[in-house]
Structure 1
């Protein structure tokens, strides 16, 4: 019988951060990546150069060791609000306070595409999820075009 408390211990270098008991009687079910289904053990802050995961046999049944996947997460995602360094607006954009992220936004009426608002981030090469926010209203565009650039290439 598989263990209901397989002890995965997570270390920051040589310092134990937490022991996570995992039931191995059911298959992992948190997410799929590279053709395998994975179980999340938690999010941990690593201050040194080594993250170590150990699985011991100190359990109430058979323990199975297969693979461990890590992914760097937890960095506060950078946000550039209108009015901050990295934001630019060309044309007839109007600043407006009291709505939007941090209670301010810029707005513009429908046009020919020559008025542009932009947010420029300095990033490390890699894959990024990009998200935008706005204050909703019935007078807003149903087709606001966002274009994402990789350097100078869209």
Structure 2
């Protein structure tokens, strides 16, 4: 389908250029694995030209650093969350206490970590309360159907469902 349609073929060429530029820049750790996953999980599942156009356009923007606008608001992060399928941390809560954003996590129903958090441009940063250098960064992928999906810098995905602390 890609080779048969000039517009899709042009997008494929544009993707190749964006991929090569991203590879040379070094700004995308694990780029080869990400590209292979995109090919298998996104592009190769398309069954029509519209799907392919959307897939290519989104991937090209991501490779060029122009990720789509954030779909998860800060307000959607607030609350208690429980990991699905052994996600770590098992449970956590993001809350506001006056002017401070508080992060609390539990493992085996015991307090595991307390910290503070910031959220900007889909980037959730969590810092340990007594050792701020011990931080975690996540990309908020989505919040829908009662589930919150986060992705770490290595590409691992974590899915949480709303829970009570």
Q: Answer whether TM exceeds 0.5 for this pair.
A: no
Higher helix share: 2
TM-score (norm 1): 0.24
- TM (norm. structure 2) is 0.24
Larger radius of gyration: 1
